[in-house]
Amino acid sequence: DVVMTQSPLSLPVTLGQPASISCGSSQSLVYIDGNTYLNWFQQRPGQSPRRLIYKVSNRDSGVPDRFSGSGSGTDFTLKISRVEAEDVGVYYCVQGTHWPYTFGQGTKLEIK
Amino acid sequence: EVQLVQSGAEVKKPGESLKISCKTSGDSFATFWIGWVRQMPGKGLECMGIIHLRDSDTRYNPSFQGQVTISADKSISTAFLQWRGLRASDTAIYYCAGGSDFWSGPPIFWGQGTLVTVSS
């Protein structure tokens, strides 16, 4: 299985400050069709997960533009330009290039 | 809008059988994949497998193959996750997620989660 490794696992951030989460994969996530199937999910406390970003850098409908995704190959990043209170939760990267789909361990974002 | 409604929380004993459900609404059934995701207490997310609701094309994560059965019934727009012999280690929240494509623009819809507790 492709191993997805996130860092940091815990991310205390001051309101209004930026935040960045890294995600690395044990194999390239470039599929034979040229696309890179890497998504980012947010899971707020007590809620179901929600997709934020698909194919590395595309924001889902309704996702604030303070969230952005970047990266290629095996290294990816989720950035929040200015953290708000509603951003508290756990963030996961997940790859869909290789079966089985695999998630990172999760990064817990909290407000300092 | 599409909704995924999961069956309620379950408390079972080791060795018992269980089948939980994920009912979809709207016209989504014909085009949707449903994925089952496990979240053990205080832990992260794991993809167990996926099923296409139209033709029941199913793929299992090898880590779960033989441990669970994923199925679907088109007539009631519902997907299922089944165990024949539960273990304490099956205690978790199980989410279903549905969409026509998990990896591109179409939205993904999530069930509310089903808490399964296995304890003697």
Q: Which pLDDT tens digit goes with each residue over B98-114?
A: 998 999 989 899 999 99
Task: Using CA coordinates, name the residue in chain B closest to A105.
Answer: B44
Q: Is A47 helix (H, G, I), strand (E, B) or coil?
A: coil
Q: Which of A7, A36, A35, A38 is nearest to A23 (CA)?
A: A7
- CA angle, corner A102, sides to B40 and A82, nearest 5? 85
Contact B63, B50 (CB under 8 A): no
- pLDDT above 70 (res B69): yes
Is the dihedral angle over the CA atoms B64, B3, A56, A86 positive or is it negative?
negative
- pLDDT above 70 (res B21): yes
Which residues contact residue B28 at a Cβ distance below 8 angstroms, ignoring those fewer than 6 apart?
B2, B53, B77, B98, B100, B109
Cα B107 from Cα B93, distance rounded (Å): 22
pLDDT at B1: 80
Does A10 touch chain B if contact means CB atoms closer than 8 Å? no
The ranges of chain A with pLDDT < 70 are none
Chain A residues within an 8 Å CB radius of B113: 48
pLDDT at B28: 65
Does B46 touch chain A if contact means CB atoms closer than 8 Å? yes
Q: Do B105 and A43 touch (CB under 8 A)?
A: no
pLDDT at A45: 97
Does A22 touch chain B if contact means CB atoms closer than 8 Å? no
- pLDDT above 80 (res B64): yes
pLDDT at B29: 64
